Structure 1
């Protein structure tokens, strides 16, 4: 067994893998949100349709997208394995009241939050990515060129209060997951210093609020007919 395989198979290696894949996904969420906010432009969906077409046809974006799917699976599976190992290692339960614990609810339930996020992603991919690739999507014409009108698909889904509510609730779970995962990723990489850790923790808190809030605002605004 090579040193690389040995490292990844150990607890330290798995935590490092969790951190690296987590940081990649953190960056991806920012880019994804920037693209999705175009849904709120008051242009009949033109900007978003052009963006979606570019995302689907750009070779580099395709590679990043497939890599993203892979990293999501690795991140979730690695998290579940780590959680199971941690539970198995606890031969003696600590007799300490939960209220006295310094650990947050999110830090104690990262595996659960990760699974919920994965379930959301599967539903999300079914409703958007699968429909874009294989669904019967109408076309919109801009400057004499036809584009798949993905905006109509998104608008139809978010006009359903149940789906919009499901999306918003999942963003709350994502916020909880990020609230611990952001700073934890840096700590797992050894970037734990009394000078920088407080800043990273505050940055992580801001990120875990703003990014999910940005995503949640999209179905809410579309449901209410709010455009910018």
Structure 2
């Protein structure tokens, strides 16, 4: 009887451990995919700053909305967001149940703040993402009506309309500040989850992750700031 209970307990612990590790690996891979997408998305959005009345951005946006391969990519992207969000919540709950901190990082003093508020920043980014989908993607596919006088595929005009609201622009920038913190910690955590945290190159990974996170955040924040100041 004792050995039977001990065996069941051992198997259950191993199953939970496997489930936790598997969830972290899948979440890390989905996160890497989303990090790459952010770079591509920023490159397209920076076309909004071109002094051509939005023509460059409109061409890129039209290509993204009409190319069949991009439509497939959108489905994969949406699935990636869902996987990353759901597993992030699950792993965060498992971590809280097993230990007081969410992620074990080599330098605790450097990442304690980021780790502590990882879930909070993720929730705010999730709210922003839902708003962003409502403002653009759901308009494009006809689930949400576009602003009056703007066509469902006129993304440049939609952007002008949205950033004409200072509060919306400030909220947009605030969300990308949080996203920068989220990215910085997530990149380090992904490398550690995958076992790529050798001391020989982990320092370079942290520097590169920080630079990338800052570049993404500032790149997206420049856009509403430009429309506030110059449009």
Higher mean C-alpha displacement, 200-209 vs 106-115: 106-115
Find the counterpart in structure 2 of residue 114 from structure 1: 122
> 2:197 is paired with a residue of what secondary structure?
coil
Counterpart mapping for 1:1-228 below 5 A = 10-90=19-99, 102=109, 103-134=111-142, 135-136=145-146, 138=150, 148-225=153-230
Structure showing the higher helix proportion among its residues: 2
The separation in 1 between residues aligned to 2:112 and 2:45, in whole angstroms, is 31
Deviations 1:168-196 (A, max 9, x none): 00011101101100111111111111111
How many residues end up aligned between the 2 structures? 207
> 2:53 is paired with a residue of what secondary structure?
coil
Query: What 5-or-longer segments of structure 2 have no aligned partner?
Result: 1-14, 102-107
Query: What 5-or-longer segments of structure 1 have no aligned partner?
Result: 1-5, 95-100, 140-146
**Please, what is the CA RMSD of the aligned residues?**
2.2
Find the counterpart in structure 1 of residue 5 from structure 2: none
The separation in 1 between residues aligned to 2:175 and 2:16, in whole angstroms, is 34
The separation in 2 between residues aligned to 1:104 and 1:7, in whole angstroms, is 25
Q: When the two structures are superposed, what TM-score results if normalisation uses the length of structure 2?
A: 0.83
Instruction: Give 1:8 deviation, angstroms.
Output: 9.9
Sort the Cα spacing of 1:68 and 1:80 in 2 relative to 1 into closer, same or farther, 3 A.
same
